[in-house]
Amino acid sequence: MNQTKVEFTPDIKQELEQSSCSGTEPFALQVLDDSMEPEFKKDCIIIIDRSAMVEHECYVMAQVENGYIFRQLLIEDERYFIAPLNQAYMHEKREVSFDDLVGRIVQQASPNGKRSERKRYD
């Protein structure tokens, strides 16, 4: 099963845990595959805010098994599901608990850093 997982190396994980920044500080990651296209292109940069509230159809980072995955949150009958946007990956829709949600995607930017190509998700 191909999933958009973001895995932290031990050095990065340790640095995040020991940094002087608050655990709720936003952080950036790069999208590594096409599972969230067409909204999020491969190689774009996403900003995750751990303190932002989540709601139906927002984009989230969730912890699954021993890794992290970027998906759209769907809330159905008070149950939480994460699903890719790309139809080729729809078999990966899965139920998660609220506690599995790490943060909400609040912005994306192109990898070349053009300010005009930034998009916010409030």
DSSP string, 8-72: --HHHHHHHHHSSS-TTS-EEEE--SSTTTTTS-TT-EEEEETTSPP-TT-EEEEEETTEEEEEE
Give the model's confidence band at 39: pLDDT under 50 very low, under 70 low, under 90 confident, else very high. very high
Give the pTM: 0.80
Distance CA 48, CA 28 (A): 6
Residue 108 lies in a domain: yes
Mean pLDDT across the chain = 86
Residue 3 lies in a domain: no
Q: The domain that contains 86 carries what CATH number?
A: 2.10.109.10
For residue 80, what are the domain limits? 30-112
pLDDT value at residue 18? 55
Give the model's confidence band at 121: pLDDT under 50 very low, under 70 low, under 90 confident, else very high. very high
- Say which residue the tokens 């949600």 belong to: 101
**Tokens, residue 103:** 């943060």
Q: How many domains does the chain have?
A: 1
